[in-house]
């Protein structure tokens, strides 16, 4: 508002200087005509002052109207910007929420993969002795001949605790049966002959 008033003041000062110069011109003409201070001179100055004052008022009103129009346009632009912002912000929030959801899902998937890998490592460490015994049993079976494989190992991803317990029990039973069966067949008691 201060800048607008400065423009108006500067314009009015310039107008007043030009009006004073033209009024002096009326006085100079009256002097040359020998009518300075007479009725005709007074009427000419009076008419000029009335017209000048009217022009000055019109100019000031025009400047104020122009400033008002610019202020109104600025307010309308500001209102439109606020409306656009009000419509944009919820979309930005939704994008932020979607991005955070994706980041959360990615972090959760990464954590789940890390947990699964750790659980698989522990499972493999737990089953490693059984695998070794199974391979040993397969080797012994090949040497002894005729016996089928008593131990077969299949890696299954992420077994449940129940599957793990059943698998361990079945493996131990198979190894026990293989060792016991091989011991009974390999040993034959000497036959006693009866003497009459």
Please report the sign of the dihedral spanned by the C-alpha atoms of residue 62, residue 68, residue 71, residue 73. Answer: negative
Q: What is the Cα–Cα distance from 128 to 135, expressed in whole angstroms?
A: 11
Per-residue pLDDT tens listing for the chain (196 residues): 567 778 778 888 888 888 888 887 777 777 776 666 667 767 777 787 788 888 888 888 888 888 788 888 888 999 899 888 888 888 888 888 889 988 988 898 899 989 999 999 998 888 888 888 877 777 666 666 555 555 555 555 666 667 777 888 888 888 877 777 765 555 555 555 545 4
Question: Quick check: 151 and 174 in contact, CB under 8 A?
Answer: yes
Q: What is the Cα–Cα distance from 21 to 13, expressed in whole angstroms?
A: 13
Is the backbone of residue 158 left (phi > 0), alpha (psi -120 to 50) or beta? left
Q: Cα dist. 20→26, 31, 34, 57 in Å?
A: 10, 17, 21, 16
**Both structure tokens of 66:** 């122009």
For position 196, what pLDDT does the model report? 43
Nearest alpha-carbon partner for 12 in 44, 49, 50, 53: 53
Q: What is the Cα–Cα distance from 36 to 55, expressed in whole angstroms?
A: 25
Please report the sign of the dihedral spanned by the C-alpha atoms of residue 162, residue 165, residue 169, residue 171. Answer: positive
Question: Quick check: 174 and 130 in contact, CB under 8 A?
Answer: no
Three-class secondary structure of residue 35 per DSSP: coil
Domain limits of the chain? 2-102, 116-185
């Amino acid at each position: 508002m201060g800048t607008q008033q400065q423009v108006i003041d500067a314009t009015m000062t310039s107008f007043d200087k030009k009006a004073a110069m033209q009024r002096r011109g009326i006085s100079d003409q009256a002097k040359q005509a020998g009518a300075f201070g007479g009725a005709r001179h007074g009427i000419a100055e009076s008419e000029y002052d009335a017209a000048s004052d009217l022009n000055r008022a019109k100019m000031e009103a025009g400047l104020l109207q122009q400033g008002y129009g610019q202020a109104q346009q600025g307010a309308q632009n500001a209102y439109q910007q606020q409306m656009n912002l009000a419509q944009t912000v919820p979309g930005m929030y939704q994008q932020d929420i979607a991005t955070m959801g994706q980041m959360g899902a990615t972090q959760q998937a990464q954590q789940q993969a890390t947990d699964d890998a750790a659980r698989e490592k522990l499972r493999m460490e737990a089953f490693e002795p059984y695998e070794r015994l199974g391979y040993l049993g397969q080797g012994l079976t090949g040497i002894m001949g005729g016996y089928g494989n008593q131990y077969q190992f299949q890696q299954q991803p992420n077994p449940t605790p129940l599957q793990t317990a059943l698998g361990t029990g079945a493996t131990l039973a198979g190894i026990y049966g293989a060792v016991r069966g091989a011991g009974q067949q390999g040993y034959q008691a000497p036959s006693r002959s009866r003497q009459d």
